[in-house]
């Protein structure tokens, strides 16, 4: 019996441990024994042969090979190579599951390790061509509007406050009525950045559609190829290792914030002359304001 086409998470990438974790429920019972061994002791699998891994997992050697192909590898050698790369990233996100009895020190270590591993995964999967296209569009924009709900609204607000780097008027809208009104007022020289990790938020999809229909360039900042990415001119796929575990940190938001930093700084590097001078003057003014505010507080000045 033939299997269905591989889900995206089965296409082996830089972190094969995460591919195994995400695939485990779809594997055959015998293949899950191999998966459990890999997740519990990746170093032991790295050091073993097919026969040794089969013995440790209490399965046949052909089962080990089937497991390797089931998670997107061409064979055992390819799987071991990808496993070595994954282990080299540091403590795998698979081992960073937070337990209810973890002390604060363990929570700190696991959240930092999980976040760093997830960011590295996102970095390896970011489409350089799409990123370059987005930078080109943003650098030539008359104005930029960022649309987002919930955690994505936080990303939009962070992007808005980077307007000195983008060099043009920026705004972030989280109210659905304001989003529709703003999208309807956009034109060919404007850019709409629609932010949704799932790519399925109906309000964001509608705002992007309206902006596009009025001639604006549209960029999707999303964690999955879905309705939003199909609609927009450019898709920045920011794939992370988020899952539904109650205590898993929301790394998708952190990764999206990093991509906003990349976009804003890359656009700023395109600026020159008066624009850069004004930005330097702004930073100096802000620094002086902060120092003045701190001095006033120390002196007890109520203002």
Give residue-wise pLDDT tens across range 42-58.
889 988 999 999 999 99
Q: Which of 34-43, 204-213, 219-228, 281-290 has the lowest mean pLDDT?
A: 281-290
Count Cα atoms within 13 angstroms, Cβ side, for 291. 6
Q: How confident is the model at residue 167 (pLDDT cuts 50, 70, 90)?
A: confident
Q: Which two tokens stand for residue 212?
A: 């596009």
Phi then psi for residue 263, to 5 deg, are: -65, -50
pLDDT at residue 37 greater than cutoff 80? yes
Contact present, 144 and 170 (Cβ < 8 Å): yes
Q: How many CB atoms lie within 10 A of CB 159?
A: 28
Separation of alpha carbons 279 and 281, rounded Å:
5
pLDDT at residue 230 greater than cutoff 80? yes
Which of 208, 166, 206, 214 has its CA nearest to residue 189?
A: 214
pTM of the complete model: 0.70
């Amino acid at each position: 019996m033939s299997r269905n086409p591989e889900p995206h998470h089965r296409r082996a990438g830089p972190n094969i441990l995460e591919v195994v974790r995400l695939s485990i429920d779809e594997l055959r019972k015998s293949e899950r024994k191999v998966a459990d061994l890999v997740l519990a002791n990746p170093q032991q699998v790295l050091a073993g042969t097919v026969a040794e891994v089969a013995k440790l997992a209490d399965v046949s050697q052909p089962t080990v090979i089937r497991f390797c192909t089931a998670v997107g590898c061409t064979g055992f050698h390819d799987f071991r190579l990808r496993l070595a790369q994954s282990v080299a990233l540091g403590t795998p996100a698979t081992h960073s599951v937070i337990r209810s009895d973890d002390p604060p020190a363990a929570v700190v270590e696991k959240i930092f390790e999980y976040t760093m591993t997830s960011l590295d995964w996102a970095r390896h999967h970011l489409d350089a061509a799409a990123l370059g296209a987005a930078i080109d569009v943003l650098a030539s924009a008359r104005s930029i509007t960022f649309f987002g709900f919930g955690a994505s609204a936080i990303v939009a607000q962070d992007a808005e406050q980077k307007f000195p780097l983008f060099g043009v008027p920026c705004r972030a809208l989280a109210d659905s009525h304001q989003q529709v009104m703003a999208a309807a007022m956009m034109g060919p020289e404007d850019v709409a950045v629609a932010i949704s990790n799932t790519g399925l938020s109906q309000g964001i999809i509608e705002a992007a559609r309206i902006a596009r229909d009025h001639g604006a360039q549209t960029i999707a900042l999303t964690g999955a190829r879905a309705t939003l990415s199909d609609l927009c001119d450019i898709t920045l796929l920011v794939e992370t290792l988020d899952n539904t575990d109650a205590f898993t940190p929301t790394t998708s938001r952190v990764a999206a914030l990093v991509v906003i930093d990349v976009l804003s700084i890359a656009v700023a590097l395109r600026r020159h002359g008066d624009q850069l001078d004004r930005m330097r003057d702004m930073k100096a003014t802000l620094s002086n304001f902060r120092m003045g505010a701190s001095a006033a507080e120390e002196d007890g000045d109520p203002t």
